[in-house]
Amino acid sequence: MCKTLRVSASGYYGWQGRPVCKRQQANTTLAAKIREAFVASDETYGMPRIRAELLDAGVVASRKRIARLMRQGHMRVSAADAATW
């Protein structure tokens, strides 16, 4: 497999044993908070409202980061919910 991927065996095993980086840990925690706010809104809040909810709770994150984590978590407002505004 290492030949196919063109990596050294020591590099592969080094990567495999490495702990998760701090940014990834923070993203996982933030994604859970975003999911919590999204579900609490009956899945009707988009990025701007989710960000406002997080700011009220004292969690600071950029618009782009929240939007990216929402996309990655498949958290989207359905078209039917968006049309009822």
The pTM assigned to this predicted structure is 0.78
User: Hey, CA dihedral for 31, 61, 22, 15, is it positive or negative?
Assistant: positive
Task: List, for residues 37-48, the tens digit of each pLDDT value.
Answer: 999 999 999 999
Is 42 part of any domain?
yes
Is the pLDDT at 75 greater than 80? The verdict is: yes
pLDDT mean across residues, the chain: 92
CA distance 9 to 76: 41
Q: How many whole angstroms separate alpha carbon 51 and alpha carbon 37?
A: 9
- The predicted pLDDT at position 84 comes to 60
Let me know if residue 7 belongs to a domain: no
Contact of 43 with 77, CB cutoff 8 Å: yes
pLDDT > 70? residue 14: yes
Domain that holds residue 27: 21-83
- Domain count within the chain: 1
Assess if residue 60 is contained within a domain: yes
Let me know if residue 67 belongs to a domain: yes
Q: What is the pLDDT of residues 43-72, one digit of tens each?
A: 999 999 999 999 999 999 999 999 999 999
Radius of gyration, CA atoms only, the chain: 18
